[in-house]
Amino acid sequence: MYKGIFWVKDGELITVKVICDAAGDPLEPCGFSSKSGENFNHRAELEKLPRHVTGSHPFDYYPRGRVEVSRGRISVFLNPVLCTDVMKEKILTSFALIPPGCPLSARFIPDGSAHYRSILSEVEDCMDITERTDTIEFRITEDPKLSSVVTWTMPGEKYADIYINGKSLLGMIDAEELRYKKDEKWDDPEESGYGLICISDLLYNLDNPYCEDYHPGLYACHSCGMDSCWTVGPLITRENGYVLWTDFENPFRKDKWRYGLSFRFSAEQYDAAVTGLRKAAEDGTAE
């Protein structure tokens, strides 16, 4: 059996653990980092993990928990969003807490206090991207949602407003950024910093193949209408018949603003939506 700490990223565990006996004493050399000196500390241990594992996020970004073994008892403290049968099974398996290999039974203790607060778990539907399928829609409009001072837009120009599962993606992004804009003391943090970009520019950004870590800009600066001034977009990857939008990033606030957004579309539905967007560039309708 093991004791230690864990985070859950996209439905999978990130663990720091050590093999131990029923009393909780380690059976191999380790350096505990918690204040008690008997387990690991999330903040200290995340700093030691590679960036491709953590996504450069802070220690309290992903939902997390702790496995304690002491005096013949196993206690699993964890963020309440992790208290699902699927996740409990993954934790028991990862920490080798399943009989007959482990003679003890584990007690799961959901902890909704600030101690296990997670930035990501506060976002609706953030958990287990691998167990859901989202839908994407490009709604065509002639309103770019830009500041009235932007006067260079062409009459009749078509723009695409992105909706996911029937909800405005721009609205989701604005909600994610609100706390950061308040911290930075924006004049009007409730106002969106983005407007729409024309369909041809959006298609160009979505098709850009030049960089493996490329985050295509989905929106433009609300004040000037340029996506080279202010934008936000996801890392887009394909795997096993799905298109994933993850790791949203504003390049002008890189490593400072974090977005608890991730989406998983069937490749068939996603490609059909993009095909409809290409058609809309010609005749103004999207499928």
Percent of the chain with pLDDT over 70: 90
Is residue 279, in this structure, part of any structural domain at all?
A: yes
Q: Where is average pLDDT lowest: 101-105, 133-137, 231-235, 250-254?
A: 101-105
Residue 125 has pLDDT above 50, yes or no: no
Residue 15 has pLDDT above 90, yes or no: yes
Q: In what order do the strands lie in the sheet with 136-141?
A: 136-141, 159-164, 167-168
C-alpha 245/C-alpha 66 separation (Å) is 29
Q: Which 3 state secondary structure label does DSSP give 48?
A: coil
149-168: pLDDT as tens digits = 666 666 778 899 999 999 99
Is residue 125, in this structure, part of any structural domain at all?
A: no
Residue where the block lists tokens 């009235």: 148
Once rounded to an integer, what is the mean pLDDT over residues 256-261?
81
Cα pseudo-dihedral 19, 24, 30, 36, rounded to 10? 150
The predicted pLDDT at position 153 comes to 66
**Residue 204 shares a structural domain with residue 236:** yes
Once rounded to an integer, what is the mean pLDDT over residues 67-72?
92
171-200: pLDDT as tens digits = 999 988 988 898 899 999 888 899 999 999
Angle at Cα 85 formed by Cα 81 and Cα 87, nearest 5°? 60
Residue 287 has pLDDT above 50, yes or no: no
Q: Give CA separation, 3 vs 25, 86, 94, 96, 170, in Å.
A: 9, 20, 10, 9, 42
**What is the torsional sign of CA 175, 180, 182, 185?**
negative
Q: Where is average pLDDT lowest: 111-115, 207-211, 257-261, 273-277?
A: 207-211
Question: What do you get for the CA distance between the two ends of the chain, in Å?
Answer: 53
Is residue 96, in this structure, part of any structural domain at all?
A: yes
Residues 6+ apart with CB under 8 A from 98: 92
**Residue 197 shares a structural domain with residue 141:** yes
Is residue 86, in this structure, part of any structural domain at all?
A: yes
Ranges of beta strands (E only) in 89-191 are 106-110, 136-141, 159-164, 167-168
Domain count across the chain:
2
206-245: pLDDT as tens digits = 987 555 567 899 999 988 888 889 999 998 888 888 998 9
**Residue 63 shares a structural domain with residue 204:** no
The predicted pLDDT at position 124 comes to 42
Once rounded to an integer, what is the mean pLDDT over residues 33-40?
89
The predicted pLDDT at position 218 comes to 95
**Residue 115 shares a structural domain with residue 177:** no
**Residue 36 shares a structural domain with residue 83:** yes
Could you tell me the residue range of the domain that residue 89 belongs to?
2-120
Q: Is the CB of residue 45 less than 8 Å from the CB of residue 29?
A: no
Is residue 191, in this structure, part of any structural domain at all?
A: yes
Residues 6+ apart with CB under 8 A from 178: 189, 190
Is residue 230, in this structure, part of any structural domain at all?
A: yes
